[in-house]
DNA sequence: ATAAACTTTCAATATTTTTTGAAAGTTTGA
DNA sequence: TCAAACTTTCAAAAAATATTGAAAGTTTAT
């Protein structure tokens, strides 16, 4: 396999995997492109490489910046804006974990806490509902906490050891 | 808040969160319904509760069985088929983690390994490509391993301790 | 202040995904 | 063996989502 083929494979694989972390195809592909590019790219570059429209590129770059994993770069003497991806995979996962927690897990946890606190009227239905939603609340809360700890900056020795152990 | 409202909230929240683990709305809602139901339900029950068609119900129940989190139950003396969800949240996450790994992570890891092994022709582009895809391969591989260990059956004391610690 | 160079917005359009429902298929009991 | 009771399949329709492109907006240099 040579470069061009490998590059296309990376971009399409990453695009397809986008759903895994909740972003659309174009967004994931733009990210993939920036992630492997040795230097920042312009909107023009991205449009051309991926064959997508200006509007699409603009909107999805904004989306990536909202996720905190793509930045505008100012190149002195250049009128155009350049973009670059976060290149460090550790920082990348940290950022993604943080955002997913904020956008999806936290709101879900809040709802689960709320609905698992309805009064127990003694019926089988209610009893089961409370039991199951409580369990789900605990699970989600634990998962959220763990995920954030695992990727968190304040990785102390015990965590590091643990990560090594798990691996 | 009373039961009916809480139930609807659970079903719609779970449905919306479906994307988090890669399943569609109807599938997630059917699962939610079964998850809080004290006894197994028929297709008829599900159609009625969620207001969806017979075909849709049938296909999505099949999908949930493929995920290994819903089972057919045979009720003696009944012609209809009944369905029940896995009720234990630990077993539920185990199953989901296992399936996601198999369906999404493993194939991605394979592609990353393959494309990060292209020959280095010395160009900046190729060098960056190899460096970045290698890093991504390692990250994905570690994440996959950790995820599977965390939810794996063979949770020995160190893992348990660790989980407690992280929480 | 103007115009060139560039970016953003958003209504219209295209694409993808989900849902429906009726026909075909299967199982069970008499 | 038949027919009633039930489930599955799948082409067509509907709904949801993503994309386009041109007009409006912004910035910069002179």
Under 8 Å CB-to-CB from B6, ≥6 apart: which residues?
Answer: A115, A118, A129, A133
Q: What is the pLDDT of residue A17?
A: 81
Residue A61's CB is within 10 A of a number of other CB atoms, namely: 22
Q: Cα–Cα distance between A6 and B37 in angstroms, integer?
A: 49
**What DSSP state is assigned to residue B21?**
G
On the 0-12 / 13-18 / 19+ scale of CB atoms within 10 A, B42 is: middle
Best to test chain B binding among A8, A28, A126, A149 (most B CBs inside 10 Å): A126
CA of A102 to C1' of D15 (A): 28
Q: Is the CB of A8 under 7 A from strand C?
A: no
Rounded average pLDDT over A77-94: 94
Share the mean pLDDT of chain A: 91
The model's pTM: 0.90
Q: What is the pLDDT of residue A26?
A: 94
Rounded average pLDDT over A154-164: 61
Name chain A contacts of B133, Cβ cutoff 8 Å: 6, 10, 36
CA of B79 to C1' of D1 (A): 20
**What DSSP state is assigned to residue B18?**
G
Q: How far is CA A103 from CA A22, A96, A141, B20, B25, in A?
A: 10, 10, 14, 11, 18
Rounded average pLDDT over A59-86: 95
d(CA B64, nearest CA chain A) in Å: 18
Which among B6, B87, B149 has the least Cβ separation from residue A129? B6
Rounded average pLDDT over B125-139: 97
Q: Is the CB of A62 under 7 A from strand C?
A: yes
Residue A155's CB is within 10 A of a number of other CB atoms, namely: 14
**Which nucleotides along chain D are within 7 A of a protein C-beta?**
5-11, 17-22, 28-29
CB contact under 8 A, B127 and A38: yes
Share of chain B above pLDDT 70, in %: 91
On the 0-12 / 13-18 / 19+ scale of CB atoms within 10 A, A111 is: buried
């Amino acid at each position: 396999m040579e470069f061009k083929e490998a590059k296309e494979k990376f971009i399409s694989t990453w695009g397809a995997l986008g759903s895994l972390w909740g972003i659309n195809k174009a967004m994931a592909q733009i990210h993939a492109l920036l992630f492997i590019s040795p230097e920042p790219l312009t909107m023009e570059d991205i449009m051309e490489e991926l064959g997508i429209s200006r509007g699409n590129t603009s909107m999805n770059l904004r989306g990536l910046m909202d996720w905190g994993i793509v930045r505008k770069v100012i190149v002195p003497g250049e009128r155009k804006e350049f973009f670059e991806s976060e290149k460090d995979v550790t920082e990348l996962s940290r950022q993604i974990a943080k955002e997913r927690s904020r956008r999806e897990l936290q709101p879900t946890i809040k709802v689960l806490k709320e609905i698992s606190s309805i009064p127990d009227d003694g019926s089988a239905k209610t009893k089961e509902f409370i039991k199951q939603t409580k369990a789900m609340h605990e699970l989600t809360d634990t998962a959220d906490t763990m995920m954030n700890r695992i990727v968190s900056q304040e990785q102390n020795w015990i965590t590091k050891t643990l990560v090594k152990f798990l691996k």
